[in-house]
Structure 1
Amino acid sequence: MDMKFEVVVLPVSDVDRAKAFYDSAGFRMDIDAVVGDDFRCVQFTPPGSECSFMIGKGLTSAAPGSFQGLYLVVLDIEKARAELVGRGIEVSEVFHDAGGIFYHGHEGGDIVHRIGGQGREAGPHPDRADYGSYATFSDPDGNGWVLQEVKQRAPGR
């Protein structure tokens, strides 16, 4: 049975502010539906993605800005970063994991995540290894996105 991950609901405090942010980032707005005073759903899809996300009012009880580690896979980390910066988005410098464990292929192929920027080393992965180079940005509420460079997917992906 196929199951496709389609939509994530991101908690935001100001729908219009978040809508303007994601529009300026170049994400496609799919819908903006208002039903009364207590419900609004705005759906965006990142360029080239099959998964979308919704922001709005009356969608979630999660705290605004509480989502972290929303990965956007890109072919060229530096080009993707430059495009977002050119659109006025504040993006971290490109980095890789100093211990070499923050990318696919370490001990069983799991991706190891580190919080708070620990273990980051400036610049792309020295070998430009797939799953090894990153940059981060956040929406106005602090929901955290990660750009990850992948040129060739791991088997089965």
Structure 2
Amino acid sequence: MALSIRGATLEDAKGISDLIVPLTKKYVCPTCDESVHNALITSMSEGNIVNYLSQNYQYVVAVDEKSEIIGVAGIRDSSHLFHLFVSDNYQGQGLSRKLWERIKSEALTNGNSGRFTVNSAINSESIYLSFGFIRTGEIRNRDGMIDIPMELETAC
């Protein structure tokens, strides 16, 4: 299997949304209050991904040999990891780490001083811990959105 990771473009918005919406429904929504499910899913629509790509967000995508998007990482302001998703068929193969390393490297190139944050879904904490993130607070409920604030300080 030939996989590659590249910077995302506006033309990738639909593919990114098509990947992350079902994964969010499967893995994130069950850990949050039902009252936020629609807002969460809407935030990942093609139109919103276009908005993110047009603003202060940077995305990288992993594509397979058919150029289908199988993984994505998005970062806001070169410091806050906003999205990190890998297709079920490719999980457990180190792809999330490769996506993280690529987006982190680009953020550092773009002026990040070495501090990153993420609001981890409950069932994603172990992945971020393996990347070196640490909890900065307890599990929190922000109007139904359940997450864990985490950060990573890295030497540049």
Instruction: Please give the range of the TM-score, normalised by the shorter of the 2 chains.
Output: under 0.3
Structure 2 length normalisation: TM-score?
0.28
Higher relative contact order at CA 8 Å, sep ≥6: structure 1 or structure 2? 1
**Rg larger in structure:** 1
Q: 1 or 2, which has the higher helix percentage?
A: 2
Structure 1 length normalisation: TM-score?
0.28
